[in-house]
Amino acid sequence: MALIPPETLELIRSRLDIVELVGEYIPLTRAGRNLKARCPFHQERSPSFIVNPERQTFHCFGCGEGGDAFSFVMKSESLSFMEAAEKLALRAGVKIEADRELGPADKERIKIREANEFAAHHYHELLKKDSAAEAARAYAAKRRLKKESVDGFLLGFAPRNGTLVAAATKKGFSVDLLIKGGLAAKRADGSLRDYFFDRFMFPIRDVKGAFVGFGGRTLGDGEPKYLNTSETPVFSKSRVLYGLYEGLAETRKARQTHLMEGYMDVISAHQHGVKNACAPLGTALTPEHAALIKRYVEKLFIVFDSDAAGMNAAVRGAEAAIAAGIKVLVGSIPKDEAKDPDEFLHAKGAEEFKEILGHRLELSPEDYDSSWAKRFGHINGKSDTSKDLVEFKTDLLIQKAGELTPEAKSAIAKEILLTISQSPDDVVKDIWVKRLAARLGVSEDSLRRAGGKAIPQSNRRPVVPPSAPRTSEDAPKAAILPSADLQLLGLLFKTPGSASEIGASDLESASAREIVAALRAITLDGKWAPRLLDALQPDVRAVASRLLNDELGYDDPAATLRAMTAKRRAQRRLKEIEPLVLSGNAPVDPGLRDEFQRLVAELKGTKR
């Protein structure tokens, strides 16, 4: 396993601002010296998630999650520490040189990504400057692509005569690497050619921003119309979404994204200000796609083309997302206004696009009731606004069936019950069954029997949980410390330089002593709080995270800490000598009696 040198981690931390980082995922509001928000790791109504800019830490007082920038990215994006460190290093402009030797496979993947990046810039320069790119530039103009979009997505041109292989080999990339990376291919006679030629090029980046592949649209009569990179060590269509990286900051903030059908839909959405938009690469949404999306969103709008193929693809994508536990709304572009999101956005603009999707209304538990479509249908007179999957798919099947005969109702019910069974949420399943029964004019019990074990039965319908904050299942369990230790540590964190004045006997618990020992051992300049958390065991780290982010203020914390410590030491000493002085079994040393009387007077009115 790779080990990152501590000084490298420290350099990354020094160049990061946790407020700026967290603010890209969730909206923060000022709360005194700290910032607060609703926790991204569990559902809550009132904000209990605190970010401390001074200490560069975060803590949720609802679920207990806490830590530094590394912890936040690991939890938010389901990354390992190494993956989070690499991501933050890229953000901070720090090169990681891990204490390990890369294996051949790792080295090859790195070189393929580098070759892809070289190819992306090569194609982009050809689009801008090459005389052979007139048709490609005309295509860009026809599709109304602005310069910012061409540059932002690094769009390019692959000429018919194929110039990449020569340029890449001259740059030092081997022929075998170019073939394995999907950038070159061999002809039947064994000669080498560019894999892409006479195509408008769309570089594809993974969620970390690495160039992993390409999509190319033919500029002539060639087939296929769209050609993607074949499977390579760094590219798989089932694991990458076009545009997700480019719109990741907006997606994190909104906690929702738009899933579209093609490259141009995504670019047009970004160009019109709808930057939280992405698309699969000519495939239906896969479970891997859904798991990737779930790292960043709570809600997914699926907006595919208005033809039958688009509608069917939308349904398949929605089912995969629902199975992953994502809230899904499916929208359709009005057929009489446009054939796809790209055309609609250019014709009507972003505001009307958002209106047909019902963006002006927030998704809430009430959105699952039978009045959902009615409440959304009034927006600007649009009846094609987004619907949840069950309603959308039921409408499609009813339209296809025509007359709702008993046999048609049975077939529709079976199909919809399969979709309902994909949801992991029994409450949602239960409400969907009720709505389907009302729509088809059949009994709920018959649907529940037909659905089998995957559908909640009427005698065991789930109860909606109370509104109290839900604890994150994998949040670390905090160690239990005596209140006296918590109070002392809370003060100590306001004046960490005083740690040397605190002795082991001043603390009641082993966990508190671990925290003080770690505080003494770390360097206290700069961003010391993340260093402290790194040095602690998970259960003790959870306690420290909470205390680091409390909002209690003291005029002179060092003086208050000294007074508290002195008092605790006096109480402990009094407890030690009291039996000796008051036992009456033997003469008492005068000095000990004087000390006893002084301590009693000093602690008068306090708990002993």
For the chain, domain boundaries: 6-92, 101-235, 483-602
Query: Domain 6-92 adopts which CATH fold?
Result: DNA Primase; Chain A (3.90.580)
- Give pLDDT tens digits for 387-446: 888 888 888 899 888 888 999 989 999 989 988 888 888 888 889 899 999 999 999 888
Residue 142 has, within 13 A of its CA and on its CB side, a CA count of: 8
Q: What is the pLDDT of residues 229-246, one digit of tens each?
A: 999 999 999 999 999 999
Grouping H, G, I as helix, E, B as strand and the rest as coil, residue 524 is: coil
pLDDT for 474: 52
Q: What is the CATH number of domain 101-235?
A: 3.90.980.10
Spatial separation of the C-alpha atoms in residues 244 and 397, rounded to whole Å = 31
175 phi/psi in degrees, rounded to 5? -60, -45
* Amino acid in position 426: D
Q: Residue 224: is the preceding peptide bond cis (ω within 30°)? A: yes
Confidence at residue 500, expressed as pLDDT on a 0 to 100 scale: 85
Q: Which amino acid is at 548?
A: L
Residue ranges of the chain whose pLDDT lies below 50: 1, 360-384, 459-473, 608
DSSP state of 195: S
Check: CB of residue 89 under 8 Å from CB of residue 95.
yes
Residue 203 CA: distances (Å) to CA of 102, 172, 231, 367, 387: 27, 21, 15, 38, 32
Tokens matching residue 486: 């918590």
Residue 540 pLDDT: 86
Q: Classify 57 as helix, strand or coil.
A: strand
CB within 8 Å of 371: residues ≥ 6 apart: none
For residue 535, the Cα-to-chain-centroid distance in whole angstroms is: 26
CATH top-level class of 483-602: mainly alpha
φ, ψ (nearest 5 deg) of residue 185 = -145, 160
Q: Are 60 and 50 in contact (CB under 8 A)?
A: yes
pLDDT at 470: 41
Strands 34-37 and 49-52: antiparallel
